[in-house]
Structure 1
Amino acid sequence: MSGLRDFLKVYWPLVVIAFAGVLLALVLMDPAPPKTIRFAAGSPGGAYHAFAERYQRLLAEEGVEVVLVETQGSIDNLRLLGDSEADVGLVQGGLSTARDEEMLRSIGGLFPEPFWVFVRTDLPAETLGDLRTVRMAVGGDGSGTRMLAIELESDYGGKWNSTSRLPLSGNAAADALLAGEVDAAAFSASIEASYVDRLLNSSEVRLLRFDRAPALARRHEALSDILLLRGVVDIGRDVPAADIPLVAPVAQLVVRKDLHPAIEALLIDAATAIHSQGTLLAPAGQYPDPDLIDLPISDQARRYYQNGPSFLRRYFSFDVANFLERAWVLAIPLLTLLFPLVRVAPPIYRWRVRRKIYVWYEDLRTLEERGRSTDDDAERDKVLEDLETLQAEIGAVEVPLSYTDDLYRLRSHVEFVKQLVCNRNPAKVAG
């Protein structure tokens, strides 16, 4: 117990400063990340919505609730993000505007979204340009598919009928195509989309080739040319029966510029877990890709791609790592202040303890001078009485054990002065 008391005597100012520093850190450090975010997820049944559900599950494991917001597609997702009605969303590459670049940031490219054009097997069409007059579903007004279809139509030139831009998308478009209600259907979607898989395995429709895919990719910065390899969908049934060249934008994960960096870190971890595995269109490790984007990359994502997860995120849970990452800015100056204080505390403590002892020497010297300078026995007796009182008061002084030699030295000096005074009064000595 005395050891604790001695410790507090030395370091109580440091304890107070450290406690005040912790309180200051809690008040001034960056706000904690939100526990709920809104994810612009596309329409149910689509690839975007399926991926959004996977993000929802992964972030829920870290204590963050993801609310899925159903949308019409990439254009709708960008609008919701820009209007602060969503915090994160999947967006097709090549659709962003100057306003989007001001307000939004990209986490990285996640997966290619080939521009699939399926036609009825009995339709004599070899290129997209052959579909100017047919009934073709190209998605609703809020979809990236429709915008990309219109953009590619201009490359093939000619006049396109309004029937070539029917507002069907996803499963509804696939159902209409298989039922013969439309002659063709276009989708900008992942190969994992359920309707794409249905159409690739159907004998009622065939996939249109883009033999000039490299040229289209050169003309459009947001497009890349990819190859759907023969048999990659079904080896046994040889689907597709030949290599099929395609063009594809890359879907990217987009966040609001003001989204909390800790949530961005969670999204990057989730994106790596979800999209780094190989697919039928990309080898393992190719995605997420910080280069296949058309929005500025977020600072958090840039650091992640350069250095990997932060040191704290490697060894601590999300909540603990986030707290430490927010507190370190104030912890460094606090530690900088405490180091010199720790060094000067012991000398200050020694001075304070010894001062409790040495302060009595002034009284002792005064009494000695009084005793030496007087020839009056009564005055000398008064000095001896005061020395007795001084000795009693010194006996009540408490100091750590390491300083008791100084205390006993003081008491011996008091006794020495008493002898000096007594020697000037032999009668007192004899008595």
Structure 2
Amino acid sequence: MLLVTVVALAIAAVGLVALRGCRAPVCDPVHYPPGGITISTGGVGGVYEAYGLAFQEVLADELPDLTVRVDNSSGSVDNLTRLATGRADLAFMSADTAFRAPALEQAAGAPGRIRAVARIYDEYVQVVVRQDSPLRSLRDLRGKRVSVGSAGSSVEITARRLLAAAGMDDNTDIVRRGYSVSDSARLLANGTLDAFFWVGGLPTTAVATLASNLPIRLLPVDRYVEELRRQYGSFYQLATVPAGTYANVPDTPTAAVPSYLLASLRLDDDLVMRLSAALFSHRTRIASVVPSGRVLDVRSAISTASIPLHPGAIRYYRSVKP
């Protein structure tokens, strides 16, 4: 009886090891960080936020002893900084911001901390204007009030690159604003903005809500994709926002870029393996909330470019390899 009591007290005191969430025949202990984990997502109304919240619900069922907190952020660069400095354990990132990772890790004194769990879906460039707007191309944005996304977001980086490809400087050739997607949608609706950039999965809630209340169009940017690929990398792809994604918006040719779920190397390998397993085994559930979740696939998920896979994620992929 005394031995049982001592063991129970020891487990309660440590509170870091659990066996729940494992599957036979292997059921090793999982080491949970004190206080749980934090998922850094993105702006309110964006797909990163929706994905993070859906994953949190999955983990509440799959790993019920793990405390999971979801935090909004200003986007990919902010998320990289949070991972590098230890303020986040999981985070989302667009591939076109991967080049920032080594410098942010060095600045935080934590080289090699940022690792990948999976390539999760492709994000689409969406340049949104009112349907009755005279604006028809990126070059028409000259002198207009344009939101290029929150500071520290992949939207800001992509907007700058696209405007440069169109022969414009985002600091001098437009009346530059830096709002989140939800704020941008609201300000376009009330006439404070002429256009806004957004890079996200389809459909994005904030844009869909705007389109259901105000007729909108998307500007085509396909003519600049080859220049983006030449200057910045082949992860930029020619894509189309399909008709019907947003109310009364026709097919619109654009650019797409992959997005990744990242993890801190500080997370225990066993835990990341189980996080990876939960992500894939519940992809249908996540996709019921976030349609972009439908494209998650183990064959493409390992393609995370310059961000190495977390050892725990590697263990998961090896475990499901045919």
**TM-score for both structures, normalised by structure 1:** 0.58
> Normalized per residue, which structure has more helix?
1
Q: How has the CA–CA distance of structure 1 residues 207 and 30 changed in structure 2, closer, same or farther, with 3 Å as cutoff?
A: same
Q: 2:123–2:201: 8 Å Cα contact kept in structure 1? A: yes
Choose the corresponding residue for 2:153, options 143, 149, 156: 143
Partner of 1:211: 222
Choose the corresponding residue for 1:257, options 226, 240, 265: 265
Whole-Å separation in 1 of the counterparts to 2:40 and 2:297: 24
TM-aligned CA deviation for residue 156 of structure 1: 1.4
> Normalized per residue, which structure has more strand?
2
SS at match of 2:254: strand
1:37 aligns with 2:37: yes
Where relative contact order (Cα < 8 A, 6+ residues apart) is larger, the structure is 2
Q: 2:120–2:296: 8 Å Cα contact kept in structure 1? A: no
Q: Between Structure 1 and Structure 2, whose CA radius of gyration is higher?
A: 1
Query: What's the C-alpha RMSD, in Å, of the aligned pairs?
Result: 3.0
TM-aligned CA deviation for residue 176 of structure 1: 0.4
Partner of 1:240: 249
Q: How has the CA–CA distance of structure 1 residues 201 and 52 changed in structure 2, closer, same or farther, with 3 Å as cutoff?
A: same
Give the fraction of aligned pairs with identical amino acids, expressed as a percent. Answer: 24
Partner of 1:290: 302
Partner of 1:48: 48
Q: How has the CA–CA distance of structure 1 residues 271 and 58 changed in structure 2, closer, same or farther, with 3 Å as cutoff?
A: same
Whole-Å separation in 2 of the counterparts to 1:41 and 1:253: 10
Partner of 1:8: none
Whole-Å separation in 1 of the counterparts to 2:169 and 2:155: 19
Q: 1:115–1:187: 8 Å Cα contact kept in structure 2? A: yes
1:130 aligns with 2:140: yes
Q: 2:207–2:246: 8 Å Cα contact kept in structure 1? A: no
* Letter of the 1:41 counterpart: T
Listed as ranges, the gaps of 5+ residues in structure 1 are 1-25, 310-431
Deviations 1:103-122 (A, max 9, x none): 21111111212111011233
Whole-Å separation in 1 of the counterparts to 2:50 and 2:296: 21
Q: How has the CA–CA distance of structure 1 residues 66 and 159 changed in structure 2, closer, same or farther, with 3 Å as cutoff?
A: closer
SS at match of 1:150: helix
* Letter of the 1:69 counterpart: D
Choose the corresponding residue for 1:224, options 237, 244, 247: 237
1:106 aligns with 2:116: yes
Partner of 2:14: none
* Letter of the 1:64 counterpart: L
1:185 aligns with 2:187: no
Q: 1:111–1:275: 8 Å Cα contact kept in structure 2? A: no
Whole-Å separation in 2 of the counterparts to 1:32 and 1:281: 31
Q: How has the CA–CA distance of structure 1 residues 201 and 216 changed in structure 2, closer, same or farther, with 3 Å as cutoff?
A: farther
Whole-Å separation in 2 of the counterparts to 1:275 and 1:83: 29
Q: 1:91–1:254: 8 Å Cα contact kept in structure 2? A: yes
Q: How has the CA–CA distance of structure 1 residues 273 and 137 changed in structure 2, closer, same or farther, with 3 Å as cutoff?
A: farther
Deviations 1:401-426 (A, max 9, x none): xxxxxxxxxxxxxxxxxxxxxxxxxx
* Letter of the 2:88 counterpart: A
* Letter of the 2:73 counterpart: T
Whole-Å separation in 1 of the counterparts to 2:122 and 2:154: 13
Deviations 1:315-373 (A, max 9, x none): xxxxxxxxxxxxxxxxxxxxxxxxxxxxxxxxxxxxxxxxxxxxxxxxxxxxxxxxxxx
TM-aligned CA deviation for residue 159 of structure 1: 4.1
TM-aligned CA deviation for residue 294 of structure 1: 3.8
**TM-score for both structures, normalised by structure 2:** 0.75
